[in-house]
Amino acid sequence: MAFQSSDMTAGLTRGGQLNGTGDARALYLKLFSGEMFKGFQNNTIARDLIMRRTLKGGKSLQFIYTGRTTAEYHTPGNSILGDTNGRPPVAEKTITCDDLLISSAFVYELDEVLSHYDLRSEISRKIGYALAEKYDRLIFRAIAKGARQASPVQSVGTGAGLVSMEEPGGTQIQVGATDDKAFDAQSLVNAFYDAAAALDEKGVSQDGRVGVLNPRQYYALIQGIGTANIGGYLVNRDEQGTALQSGKGIMEIAGIKIYKSMNIPFLGNYGVKYGGATGVTSPGNTGDFVGSDTELEPGTVGGGLNNNYGAQSAFDTSCGLIFQREAAGCVEAISPQVQVTSGDVSVIYQGDVILGRLAMGADFLNPAACVELHTGTAGTAFGTTYPANA
C-alpha cells in the first residue's frame, strides 16, 4: 500500500523539537567554536615616549627648570661676582597625582562552573585596555597643552642696560586652512619638516623625537609615498609586501619616528572625525569609541582629576602631535595592575571581583619639545580656571 507524502510528514519524529512542537533544531547542542571575539584593542604607546617617574610619600612631584645665562667680557680690575642679572633663572613644575582610576568586573562562581569557556582572562585583559586607553588620552592632552604654552623659565632685566630673557615655548603648526588637509599626505610631510626645524631652532634634542597621527593620516602617508612630491624617503626598506600595507612601512620623516593612535585629540574627537568638513566617510557601525571624552572634563576641581587637561572644545582644530620625550611628564603612585579577590570575600559573595587600578597624573614639562598640528585657527592656551576652555 502506498503512503501519501502528508502521512509521512505527520508521522515523522523530529529529535530536535521540544515536545514535538516549535523549532525543529531547538534541542540540538550549540558547540563552542573556541574563538572569543574581542572588543577594540588599541595600541597604547604614550607611557614609554615621555618622562615617567614613580611617586612615593607625597601627593605631587616637583621638576626644576634652569634657564640660560649670558657670556660677557671681563673688564680688568672689576670683581667677578656672578651674572649681573642673577642668571640663570630657576623655575619649577609640579605634577599632581590624580585620584585612583579603576576598572572592575564581578565573576559569579556558579556562572564559571556552568560556562564552557573561560572569561576570567579575557575580562582581565579588557580591564587593562580600559586603563591604558585613559592613560594615553591624558598624556596626549598634556602634550597638546604644552604646545600652547610659554616657557616657565623667564628672566626679567632689572638694571640699566639689562634685558629680559625667556626660554623657548611650545609650537603650533597649521597643516591646512580646512579640516580635510589633516588627511593630505603632502601637507602632513610639510608640517613634519616645519616641526623638525622648529625643534632644532629651539635647541631640542633630536633623540626621542616622535610623531603621533590617527590611523587614516598614517595610511594617507603610505598611499602618498609614490607621488612625485613626497617620494620614497618615507619607506622603511626593511618592510616589504603585506608588512608595508599593514602600516609598518613608514620609518620616519625628518628624523621623527611616526606612530598611529586612536587616543590623540583630533578635531574635537578622539582618533578620527567623520563628515563633510574632513572629507572622510564613516565606515558605519563605529560604536561609541570615536567621539569626545567628557570624563576628562568633570567641570570642577575633583571628580578624579587634579591636573588641568583642558576641555573637549579646546581641541576642535587639533590634528596631530610631534614631540620629544621631555615634552611631558607622568607621575605614577600606583602603576597599572590587576587584582583579584579571594579567601573570605570569595566565600561571602560566591565569586571574585577582578579589579584594575592606576594612580597617575600627567602634564607638560618642556613646552619647547611640544608641537601641535592643527587646521584652521590654532587652539588657545589653557586658562587658569578648571577646566580651561570649557
DSSP 237-285: TT--THHIIIII-B-EETTEEEEE-S-SEETTEES---BTTTTB---S-
Instruction: Please tell me the pTM assigned to this model.
Output: 0.85
Distance CA 337, CA 172 (A): 36
* Angstrom distance (rounded) from CA 192 to CA 182: 12
243 in a structural domain:
yes
Q: Hey, what's the cell of 370? A: 611640544
The three grid cell numbers given for residue 372, joined into one nine-digit string: 601641535
Q: Which amino acid is at 23?
A: D
Distance CA 120, CA 384 (A): 44
Tell me whether residue 158 is in a domain: no
- Closest alpha carbon to 219 in 239, 247, 244, 184: 247
CB burial readout 114-143, b (16+ within 10 A) else e: eeeeeeeeebbebbbbbbbbbbbbbbbbbb
**C-alpha span between 223 and 244 (Å, rounded):** 10
Backbone angles phi, psi at 222, to 5 degrees: -65, -40
pLDDT digits (tens, 9 = 90+) for 132-180: 888 999 999 999 999 999 888 876 665 555 556 678 999 999 999 999 9
Q: Is residue 385 part of a domain?
A: no
Which range marks the domain in which residue 224 is found? 53-65+91-150+169-375
In a domain, 47, yes or no: no
| pLDDT averaged over every residue in the chain | 81
Nearest Cα to Cα of residue 95 among 134, 139, 128, 136:
139
Q: Is residue 312 part of a domain?
A: yes
Beta-carbon count within 10 A of 32 CB: 10
Q: For 211, list phi and psi in degrees, rounded to 5.
A: -125, 145
Question: At CA 157, angle to CA 153 and CA 158, rounded to 5?
Answer: 130
* Residue 220 included in any domain: yes
Domain count, the chain: 1
**Coil/strand/helix, residue 276:** coil
For residue 250, is it within any domain?
A: yes
Position 108 in a domain? yes
Joined together, the cell numbers standing for residue 216 give 587614516
pLDDT in tens, the chain (390 residues): 555 555 556 667 778 888 888 888 888 777 767 766 766 666 678 988 999 888 888 888 888 887 777 777 888 988 887 776 667 778 888 889 988 999 899 988 888 888 877 888 888 888 888 888 889 999 999 999 999 998 888 766 655 555 566 789 999 999 999 999 999 988 999 999 999 999 999 999 999 999 999 999 988 887 775 555 554 455 555 555 554 444 454 668 888 999 889 899 999 888 888 888 888 888 888 887 777 666 666 554 446 888 888 888 889 999 999 999 999 999 999 888 888 888 888 899 999 899 989 999 999 999 999 999 999 999 888 876 655 444
Angle value at C-alpha 46, between 284 and 97, nearest 5 degrees: 110
Cα distance between residue 252 and residue 239, in whole Å: 13
